[in-house]
Structure 1
């Protein structure tokens, strides 16, 4: 338990001390978020391909929007497809690093941004903060069309888990709508041609892209045509 607690504090130190970026919406990009030994453990415990389910079949997302993406959930059917050591590793990471204290610390840190979002939405401060985690694996595809994240999400953390830097240009891209006043509280995905691309987070080992969900937190993944590409991520959500 002590090793996990140290890893959690190291992760929080990095996130909370990384300067936020304010445009086109508030976000952060962090490097070296886990210790090197722990990142190696993450790599060593990634589930095999046969343990994943097409994301559209998990109930987590629409197959039309995420046709290239498969997911590994922390539920009994998925954990039964891997060794006990692999299942325990990911469950421990969720229970001991991404725990309620971790979520509460981030909510407190970003409370002004969250409060402003909820006020603009006409929603009350949530009485119950929840956590969710999923491992995802992408292949070459037409990309992920532009969206602002699920309406229930408060904070989204995308941990990039590649083994090397070969896919550095393939991270999450931020956009602004060509109709500059356009906003969206979440749900639908929008066409690339209706937005201007601003910046792409480098898809580098042991890095993190994080943002507070708003009605202008437009992001997506550009089309990728790289034969044999495997793009591993860990998605962690703090939501109401």
Structure 2
């Protein structure tokens, strides 16, 4: 655009002052060229008004710029920004579309149109803008957010990685990347990325909050609790912070702070009575307290020094046979109540189980989550779709083992009926489930007590012969002698000694009550093998 010579200096000086952030001085300098109808002066005045949070003034100045030069892409762009600031998204979209038509090779009109135009076209437009200038972190951030909003985290993560490279000083980009990584379950990297976001902007509450979530996802509740005071200082009235702190307390099993957790949950529900997650953790806290009640009763209750009942008569009925073996099992008195049982199934049933082991091609990886990558599990519906007779066989096995007869025999064998009665007083019931599993080389299960949502378990061993005895379930003793409510938290092998091991033998089982010092696990499998088991669990749950 050509200007009268006497105004070139004012425009240049006004532009310099605008870029330096000296907006009042820039406005004064630009007033003269604006009065004589120089469009660029009006454009600069519009940008200054936007920077000063004066959208109405910005819209008027941008309109004057377009009056001076209707074909100015820059004027259309700032007009769109002004409309957007005023909440006039339709006008903003039209202005950005006009700017894009006038200057199709520019990123900014693409960016504006993507944000305020047709949402169905937004990602396509943003991708074009990012291709025009890959160094624009803001554009890549918006594209990554759109992918994340569509649950396409496989696209969001690489896009946001590029954004972080393009703008390494942006805390918001790293926050968005951390959120996307959390959504993909990559919590370790998310922690690192979010920690960097916190360092870039120590006052950015969302980054601190997401960082604490990443720690919780890695079962590092103590570290998450250490991060809470800063979160409270940054946003003391944030409702979701109450549930986060309560979650950390429960995950850390800090019994002394359970009342604090309950108060935080109640405070959330008093303001948001339909807060689903608050109701969920309130139920979890109630379940923890119920479990602690029966665990305390178990520890106080004198246990026999070991006993064996009369062996039941042999039967080919699977449920009756297993129930009889449970009722005639010898219960070990040391550490906690457990029993090693041989010939747990009728011989013919065991042979049928071995001949019906499914191919591993039907298995899903990590049957219990990311802690068990070397574990394979099976879905009965999937199995039945692939091989109907195979699926029907295992469905009949599951039904027999999940029968009331087996459950009642377990409770009688371990004298747990009084614990069930206590749970009932807390509004809880027990039910059983079974899963067929196969563990492969590299699988290991550190010493742990089962989650407080389980009352007891049976591990049925399904090997072909006795050559793999060393991969049986082991019972561990805690070396420091401490009594901890750490159910469900897997520990390193250091700090524990193996008290006993139930060899992995054909047609055998270990049954145990998940109370007292019920630490158990499996030493690492260090050679190629398939460790087949049926896992029977007695769950503690709320009636449906």
- State the 1:133 CA deviation: 1.0
Q: Secondary structure at the match of 1:80?
A: helix
Per-residue deviation at 1:96? 3.0
Are positions 1:42 and 2:353 aligned together? yes
1:63 correspondence with 2:370: yes
CA distance in 2, matches of 1:44, 1:25: 35
| Structure 2: stretches of 5+ with no match in the other structure | 1-314
**1:92-171 alignment to 2 at 5 Å?**
92-112=396-416, 115=419, 124=425, 127-141=428-442, 143-171=444-472
Alpha-carbon distance in structure 1 between the residues aligned to 2:459 and 2:476 = 17
> How far does residue 182 in structure 1 lie from its aligned partner after superposition?
3.1
Greater fraction strand: 1
For residue 28 of structure 1, give the secondary structure of its aligned residue in structure 2. Answer: strand
Q: Choose which of 192, 195, 199 in structure 1 pairs with 2:493.
A: 192
Match of residue 229, structure 1, among 529, 535, 538: 529
Tell me the distance in 2 between the aligned counterparts of 1:130 and 1:46: 26
User: Which of these residues, 379, 396, 411, is aligned with residue 73 of structure 1?
Assistant: 379
Determine helix, strand or coil for the equivalent of 1:182.
coil
Equivalent in the alignment of 1:238:
538
How far the C-alpha of 1:209 sits from its partner, in A, is: 0.5
* Secondary structure of 1:187's aligned partner: coil
Aligned partners of 2:426, 2:332: CA distance in 1, in Å? 24
**TM-score (structure 1 length as normaliser):** 0.85
Aligned residues: 226
Higher helix share: 2
Q: 2:328 aligns with which of 3, 9, 17?
A: 17
On the 8 A contact 2:319/2:405 being kept in 1, the answer is no
1:28-57 deviation digits (Å, cap 9, x = unpaired): 00001112111100101111111111125x
Distance 2:487 2:418 in 1: 15
**In 1, Cα distance between the equivalents of 2:454 and 2:441?**
27
Query: Structure 2 residue aligned with 1:211, among 512, 516, 533?
Result: 512
Residues 88-135 of structure 1: per-residue CA shift (max 9 Å, x gap): 11111122343123213322433448629x97xx99466432221111
* Separation (CA, whole Å) in 1 of partners of 2:451 and 2:377: 17
**Is 2:342 aligned against 1:31?**
yes
1:13 shift after superposition: 1.5
Corresponding residue number in structure 1 for 2:364: 53
The higher radius of gyration belongs to 2
CA separation of 1:168 and 1:151: change in aligned 2, threshold 3 A: same
Q: Contact 1:183/1:215 (CA < 8 Å) preserved in 2?
A: no
After TM superposition, give the deviation of residue 86 of structure 1 in Å. 1.0
Partners of 1:185 and 1:194 lie apart in 2 by: 14
Q: Is the Cα contact below 8 Å between 1:184 and 1:215 reproduced in 2?
A: no
